Structure formats: C-alpha cells, structure tokens
Structure 1
C-alpha cells in the first residue's frame, strides 16, 4: 500500500518501508509530478510533458482541475471534454505506473490525501478518480493531518500542541492538533477549498495587466493565460528576490515590466485577509488562543512566499517551522497513514484521530403564528470538528395534523440555510397519524473516520425505521442552473429582504452562525427564523424594531467570538 498526495499543482507518491516513509521518483527521476494533463493527438501526456505544453498548446492542456472535483465542470482538451475526476484519474494512473516501476510490484491499495475542507462530494469524486485509475482508495487522509503524521513520526515521545498551516496550489487548510504519548489527536480543522498559490499568481497577473494598461477583463483568454504563466514565474522569483523583470508578448506587442515584492504583496492583500477567517474559526472551535501553541508548521509550496511566512509569524508571534520540505510533508504523512491502515508493526505506538471537517444535519422548518411555514433551515446533528467516529441523535416532530410521512434531507456545511450547504441525500419515513407535534422521529447520524455517513430515522410512536448510507457522489447545480433560478426569483415583486440594511443584517446572523456552535448556534438559528418571519410579514416598523432588539445580542456575540 502506498500514500499519494494528489495536489492541485504537483502530486507525489510515497511508500512506508523499514520503519520510515520514502518518496518515489517518477520516470524522469523527479519527486514532483505536475498535476497537468495534455492531449497530443490521440496521445495523453501527464506531468512535466503536459506542463510544458501549457504555453504552446493551452487549448489541449488542463491544470488546476482539482478545484472542480465533485462538480459537473468539464475541461475542453482539443475535441474532448473531461471532468475533473477523469483528469485526476490520468494523473493517478501515471503515479501508479511510476510506483510499480520503482517497487517492481503491482499497486492496488492506496491512501490518498485530500484538503481537510473537501466536502463529501469532493471526497467521493476523489475515490471515483482512484477507481478509474485502477486503484482502491482504502482511506482518504486530510492533508494537514498527513503533514502532522510526518512531523509526529520525527518526535514520537514528545508532547506538544501545534498548528499545521497548509497553503497549497489550490486549497488552504489549517488544523490544530495535540501530540502526546504517540497519539496524534486532531482538535479542529478549517480552511478554504478555493484559496491557494494559483490565486496569488492570478492576483499578480491582474496587477501586471494594470501595469500594461489593459484591464484584465478586456484581455482575451489566451492573453490571460500567458499572463498567469508569467506571473507564476515572477511569484517564484519574488520569493527569493526583491524585484523581477518580466518580458512578455501580448497581442503582438512586446512589454517589459519591473515587478517588486511590494507590488506582489499589495496585489495579494485581499487574499491574505481571507487566510485569517479559517484560523479564527479553528481557534474558536478549540477554545485555545495562540499562546497555547508550542509549534506552528508550514506545509504546501505556497508557504515559501515571504508574505505568508511573515503573516504567520505576526499572527502566532513565533517563527514557523519548515524542517520537512513543504512540498513533501503531505505525501510522507500519507504513507504513514497507509502503514497505520496496514497495521505496520513499526507504528504500534502511533495512534491517529481525526474530526468531522463539516457539520452534518438535516433540513427543518418552522410554522409562524399566522400559519405561514418557513422552511429550508439547517439543523446540525454532528457539528464540525467532532472527533470521529461519532454518532449523534436528535428528535423532530410533525408540523400538520394527521401527517403520515416525514422527509429527511441530509446536508453538510456551516450555513444556516440548506440552500447554501451541500445536499447529501434524502429518504421518507412513515409515521402514524396524529396531532401536529405529537408524532415525530429520532434521527441518528453516524460518521466513520473513513468518511462513511449513515443516517437512520426512527418513528417515535411505532418504531418504524428508514435510512441510507452516504456513498455516492453529490450532484451539484451548474452555474447555468443557478443563474436561471436567480433570474426567476428576481422576477418577483420587490421585497423588504432586498433592502440593503436587511440583507446586511441577515448576512451578519449567518456569518456568526457559521462561526458558532452548540447553544450559540441554537440562539442564532432562532433569531434568523424570527427575522425571516418579520420579513415575510413585510411590516417595516416591526422589521426595524427587531433589528434594534437583536443588534445588541449580535454585538455581544460578535465581540466574544471574533475579538
């Protein structure tokens, strides 16, 4: 069994042997295999050969497709359209071939790393990509957890509380862990599945377009692609030097630009701000402050940027560690996890625990005094960062007299409205007729460390059961479908919720809901329901009064959680 780091920019393979992980080289003798696929006629190119064709054959080449895992997005390569899972499977097949050549044996079982903030659909898409490559993904391991395993193996007997700051090519994860007596316990994870080194390159590319005097939006796709490639080169140079001279040809015109590290940092200021929110959420969930940390570890190639190291040093008031190459740590840890799954005797004294990266729950509704039903609310049953395995239960009642069925819609996410979370599945439960609220069900959700989610509903009165096991991929709305629904909604008469003040107030409640958990979440959910009800009533005076009454409570919650 081998470990694989399936990265946005580069991928690696690693094997655990003789008590330690060992990285394997590809056919070119390199450890890093670019996660790039290109079509040359009927021939598929993967890795460095494909990367070299990004400039010469951009329409036949795809990169950074990891971000589209679990979606219906397709990539056009020549005359073919491929999904992210299919492109990833080609990278995985290349890694499989390289591993078999290096080890002289057939490879079937693997442990593959995924961003901690990948949802269930993205994780299932990764498993599907493995299957298409002829591999059996026996376990998915969160990338910062894998990195922690690589570092923990160096210091098995030590005790420490540390944070892994993982900024890769396309994703950002932050995880707080505790290490004691060979046990590696994840306390909390958070992140942003759409923030990574690629975004920093694009920010610099847009700054370069401004210097040229052509707005980014007015550049042709080919020109934007050329600027991104040049910006990626400049990004790497500016990590070691204070300035860089870029020479490029766009639309037949030659340009020479001088870029400074200050230019780069200014272009990326908004991205640096986005890094703070997952960190704040992680510390809120653990109840710790930065002084409680013994170590801060940097993982991912994008952490080589000086602005990232400086930001981390300021945030945590200590110099971060990079004793393991940030490009290698995840793959090394994936191999350690593979050895743990295979029960390698060299790791008898090593134990790894993990947490749920997202909350899992069901859709609920409430009935107002006037009989209006307000639905679409998310009720978590297993909250984010709950140690796994976990099993939790909650009870729910009927809303109408003589109701004979209850629909259970399962969602994953942190938003208070289910429309903003990921739908995992649904089923129906038959219940006896009775007065509203007198009949109901218990809903139990069980979450396995391997990512398996089992949902079971039991009728409170007669004990009838129904349920499902979440295994299949999640179908997501395409951008076209979302745009169509938005257009339909906009055709309705103007509503008070469209008022800027009300929209901002709703957004504030939802933001705090995503930050909070437990009793605070129940309080905020209730406030959201009440305010939604006031908006439905369309009484400006009542809406204004409620904003004032709730504002003080929101101020207190905001100050407590964010300060």
Structure 2
C-alpha cells in the first residue's frame, strides 16, 4: 500500500486511495489533523502531535513547532538531552502518521507520496526525502502541493485545455501554481511562492500589535506566558474571520489584561503580507504568459486561506470568486492520496501524467565586459530558466576571458538574481583548456540536465580537444549523506517514543497542564483532576481509565468554555 502524506508546517495528514476514493486516517485521538509539533517529557520520551502542542504552553523549553521552515538547513534543535535536525523532527511526525495508517489498514506501510511546497528548493526536497528514510519508508514521489490540490478538486477530469491557478497559503509557506489539463496530462506552467510566508506570520502581526497596545516587552513575558498569549491570539485570529472582531483575556501574575481587535485594523496590519502575496501571484501569471481572464478556475487551499482578507485579495486581483468547497486543511492530503493511487496504478483511476517544473533558475557564473573592455566577474547566466518542465536539458557555449588561460571554472548556481553572490552555489566544475589557443578557439559547451528527482547533471565539452567533463549534483552542502542518514536512523531508533495506545491519556494530561498554566483560579481543581486521573492510570484497568478519561474531558471542556 502506498500512502499519501501532507507533511505540513502546522498540521500533517495521511491517507490512501481505495475503491471509495481518497481516504484520510484519524490519529489516536480520532482527529484527521496531527499538529506538526514535537516535545520531550521529563523521562526523555518523545511526544508528538496534540499533546506536544499543549506542551508548547506548559513546557515551551522542550517543545518545538514550525520546523518545516528549517528543512534543507543544518540547524539543530535541543530538546532535553536530544539534538534534532529538521529532517529528524519531520521523521518523528512521519513515524506517528505511519503508525496511524498501519492501525487503520492493519498492514505495514513502506511507501509514500509526500507533498512539498512547489517553491521548495533542491535542498529542501532532498531533506524531505531524507526525513522519509529516517521514518523507515521509501518516498515514491514528492508531489508539489498545488498539483496535489488540483487532484483533490478533480481538475484532471475537466475538459482539455482548462487552466487553473492554485493558491496555497498554509501555516508556514505560500505557493501559487498555474496548471493546464491536456490529454491526460496535468501540466504545471508556472510556480512561484514564498517559503517564509504563512498563517504564522499573520499571527506574529497580532502578537506584535497586542504587545504594543498592552505595553508588554520581553522582560515581562516568560516562554510559557508567550505560549499562552499566542494560543489565545490564534483563537482570536479565527474568530476575526467569522465575527469581524475578537478579543483575548490574559492573566500575568496578578494582572488581568484584556485586548480587542477588529477586522478593519487587522487588514491594515496585514497589508505588508498581502503585498508579499501579490508578487508571486503576478510572477506566476507572467511566467505562464496568461491574463486573469484566461483562467478557468482559481482554487484556494491551505488553512490560512480561510482568512476573509485573503479571499478578498484574490477576488479583486482576478475579478471572480475562487473555489473553496474542499476543506482547505485536507485538500493537499486528499490530492497526495490520489497521487499515491496513480503511483500504484489503482484500477479506479484513469491514467494521469503529472508534470513538475524546476522552481528556480539554474546557471553558472560569467564575466561581462564594461564600456572600457574590462572583464567584470560575478554575473549569473541562467542555462535552465525557472518553470521549465522537467525533465529538461539545455546547453550554452562559453569562452575563456583571456588568451593563454589554462582552465575554465564553472561555478553552478541556483536563483533569480543577476549577481551570483545573491544566489545559492550548488557546486563547481574545473575544465582544462589549451593555453596555446585563442579565446575563440577554446569554446566550451555546457549542458545542464535536471530530472524529476531533483538531480542536476552538468556536462562540459571542450571543442578543441573533444574532452568531456561531468558533475553530478545529488547532494547539497549541509544535507545528510547516505552514511549520516544510517547513523541518525540508529540514534532515532534508540529514542523512546510514547506508544500510540497511550496517546489519548498523554493528550489529556498535556491539556490539563496547559490549562493549569492558563487558569490561575482553577489551579487547585485542576490538580485534583490530574491526581484522580493519574490514579486511574495506575490501576491499569482499561475500563476504569476510559471512564475517568471521559469525565476528565468533559470537565476540561467546561473549563475552556468559560
């Protein structure tokens, strides 16, 4: 069985494709959404999902979220006695999801299709594959999130020539893709985005405004209090969308604080983020060479797309209402399930070919001569332009700067800046040339070939000698190689993770501890409830534990509703 996974910044989901269509699996708490949060308890055991999210308030120093934004970097996070790379944190989320899938299917899961932001770089995609390996699965394919959303909406069933714009604003990333359906092919014409723009950034705006209004600086808030504040502001952000206004109440020691905001002020605060959204939208349309009226549909996905100001922005730009009838939190996961069904050649699915594009331009450094004939280095020469359909192969011919030059240095870069210093260097290739020949006789043809797995092959042919040079870029600086993955896998296998069967009890205690942090007047009552529930757990009688858990849950629901 091949499963489909949406490995999100704020939430993750898993499912499969069967005779009834795409199906998502619930976690141990009965929820489809598993928060992408990791925590470590006092005994050093790893906690994943909702209990970890609650511990972001009660135990912020040993909890972490939004680590998807760090994928492709060597950054490490210390939780208790453990140091985790972003790939390892993502692998822990994947392991939890896989356990949920195996519990639902009754069989082992070994293969998966995982969705990634369309604008993820080569390094970020390889880090996602590494996370899959660390979780013990083979990643059959990475599917771009907007393409997955198109599959969820059944856009593959639309008439040939239909064009769609997929607008995907998640918790931490923003993607926009323009797709066309033609003769069983879902072709991506253009992708653009911002890997550091999402719902978390809108939440940051609310926090900054609230702290400014209440005159709260960092010295007045510890990590736990800031966690309480952000949680209440997240609830307020959702309330803004449905009611047009929202407020929070916050206890800081003996101080009782209150703060209000309305949709109008929120829209003004968010204007810089809205402007950042417009740039990728305009770039994607420009790269696809389309006008708004040439689009057949506009689809909104991603949890943050629920904000009314987002829908208003898109409607104004394109002069029509976007589609939003599929749950925006689930659309990408459902599409990943369809992609998994296509990969396994499910008999209930018509054959569909999915194309991807190269999200960034790939090229080399060149020198240009100024008006005085001086050679100025540091310029970027694209060989494969962004949004080229992959697999793709392109070539260009270059010459040395001066006579009697012995070598030609080919530095390979990824990016969109005209200057290489602002792009990302991927590697280098040194080519020997004959110093006895003139610059014009020392022509070197360079070919870049980029495949669907993100592997870049660089070939250089020296015309005078017919000698060939090759560079294969499968790895990026800072990423784990095969040997490091094996070593990290051994370490992860030794780390104890709370078993799935205990997740409901763990979540109940984590929720109670979070409420203890938030509700000063109910602390004695909460301690009593926690004590009684721990006593029930000590009994090891599942019937007693189940009954106490129901009572505990009702009590906590009542407390949170006040």
Same fold flag (TM > 0.5): yes
Deviation at 1:338, TM superposition (A): 2.1
Residues 419-469 of structure 1: per-residue CA shift (max 9 Å, x gap): 222222222222222223431311111111232222111112112112222
- Partner Cα separation in structure 2 for residue 435 and residue 284 of structure 1: 42
TM alignment of 1:302-313, pairs within 5 A: 302-313=304-315
User: Which one is further off, 384-393 or 173-182?
Assistant: 173-182
- Partner Cα separation in structure 2 for residue 84 and residue 319 of structure 1: 37
Contact 1:167 1:197 in 2 (8 A): yes
* Structure 2 match to 1:3: 4
Deviation at 1:270, TM superposition (A): 0.8
With a CA cutoff of 8 Å and minimum separation of 6, indicate the structure with the bigger relative contact order: 2
* Structure 1 match to 2:556: none
Deviation at 1:142, TM superposition (A): 0.7
User: Which one is further off, 360-369 or 410-419?
Assistant: 360-369
Contact 2:366 2:379 in 1 (8 A): yes
- Partner Cα separation in structure 2 for residue 357 and residue 316 of structure 1: 23
* Structure 1 match to 2:28: 27
Deviation at 1:71, TM superposition (A): 1.2
- Partner Cα separation in structure 1 for residue 253 and residue 458 of structure 2: 56
- Partner Cα separation in structure 2 for residue 216 and residue 312 of structure 1: 36
User: Which one is further off, 145-154 or 60-69?
Assistant: 145-154
Quickly say closer, same or farther: Cα 1:373–1:252, change in 2 above 3 A. Answer: farther
* Structure 1 match to 2:462: 459
Deviation at 1:55, TM superposition (A): 0.4
Residues 235-269 of structure 1: per-residue CA shift (max 9 Å, x gap): 11112112222011346532111221222222211
* Structure 1 match to 2:316: 314
Is 1:420–2:422 an aligned residue pair?
yes
Quickly say closer, same or farther: Cα 1:148–1:400, change in 2 above 3 A. Answer: same
Contact 1:165 1:173 in 2 (8 A): yes
Q: What's the secondary structure of 2:281's corresponding residue?
A: helix
Residues 342-371 of structure 1: per-residue CA shift (max 9 Å, x gap): 333433442222211111111222355767
Is 1:14–2:15 an aligned residue pair?
yes
Q: What's the secondary structure of 2:340's corresponding residue?
A: helix
* Structure 2 match to 1:107: 109
TM alignment of 1:461-480, pairs within 5 A: 461-475=464-478
Quickly say closer, same or farther: Cα 1:409–1:257, change in 2 above 3 A. Answer: same
Structure index of larger Rg: 2
Match of 2:248 among 234, 246, 249: 246
User: Which one is further off, 135-144 or 338-347?
Assistant: 338-347
Quickly say closer, same or farther: Cα 1:191–1:274, change in 2 above 3 A. Answer: same
Contact 2:241 2:308 in 1 (8 A): yes
Deviation at 1:147, TM superposition (A): 0.6
- Partner Cα separation in structure 1 for residue 397 and residue 348 of structure 2: 45
Residues 26-48 of structure 1: per-residue CA shift (max 9 Å, x gap): 12221111000000131100111
- Partner Cα separation in structure 2 for residue 382 and residue 54 of structure 1: 43
Contact 2:156 2:352 in 1 (8 A): no
- Partner Cα separation in structure 1 for residue 252 and residue 332 of structure 2: 38
TM-score where L is the length of structure 1:
0.81
Q: What's the secondary structure of 1:392's corresponding residue?
A: strand
Deviation at 1:158, TM superposition (A): 6.4
- Partner Cα separation in structure 2 for residue 240 and residue 256 of structure 1: 20
Q: What's the secondary structure of 1:455's corresponding residue?
A: strand
Contact 2:369 2:375 in 1 (8 A): yes
User: Which one is further off, 187-196 or 350-359?
Assistant: 350-359
Residues 74-106 of structure 1: per-residue CA shift (max 9 Å, x gap): 223234332211111110111111111211221
**Structure 2, unaligned stretches of length 5 or more?**
480-562
Contact 1:399 1:437 in 2 (8 A): no
User: Which one is further off, 188-197 or 406-415?
Assistant: 406-415
How many residue pairs match? The answer is 476
Contact 2:459 2:471 in 1 (8 A): yes
- Partner Cα separation in structure 2 for residue 144 and residue 66 of structure 1: 17
- Partner Cα separation in structure 2 for residue 410 and residue 44 of structure 1: 40
User: Which one is further off, 46-55 or 214-223?
Assistant: 214-223
Contact 1:246 1:259 in 2 (8 A): no
- Partner Cα separation in structure 2 for residue 371 and residue 221 of structure 1: 59
Contact 2:448 2:459 in 1 (8 A): yes
Deviation at 1:50, TM superposition (A): 0.6
* Structure 2 match to 1:493: none
Contact 1:156 1:181 in 2 (8 A): no
- Partner Cα separation in structure 1 for residue 309 and residue 149 of structure 2: 22
TM-score where L is the length of structure 2:
0.81
Contact 1:367 1:399 in 2 (8 A): no
Quickly say closer, same or farther: Cα 1:185–1:217, change in 2 above 3 A. Answer: farther
Q: What's the secondary structure of 1:268's corresponding residue?
A: helix
Residues 451-509 of structure 1: per-residue CA shift (max 9 Å, x gap): 22221111121121122222213339xxxxxxxxxxxxxxxxxxxxxxxxxxxxxxxxx
Contact 2:58 2:224 in 1 (8 A): no
* Structure 2 match to 1:142: 144
Deviation at 1:18, TM superposition (A): 1.5
Residues 169-189 of structure 1: per-residue CA shift (max 9 Å, x gap): 000001111124433221111
- Partner Cα separation in structure 1 for residue 55 and residue 253 of structure 2: 20
Residues 518-538 of structure 1: per-residue CA shift (max 9 Å, x gap): xxxxxxxxxxxxxxxxxxxxx
User: Which one is further off, 297-306 or 10-19?
Assistant: 10-19
Contact 2:57 2:224 in 1 (8 A): no
Deviation at 1:128, TM superposition (A): 1.1
Contact 1:204 1:268 in 2 (8 A): no
Deviation at 1:21, TM superposition (A): 1.5
- Partner Cα separation in structure 1 for residue 253 and residue 209 of structure 2: 18
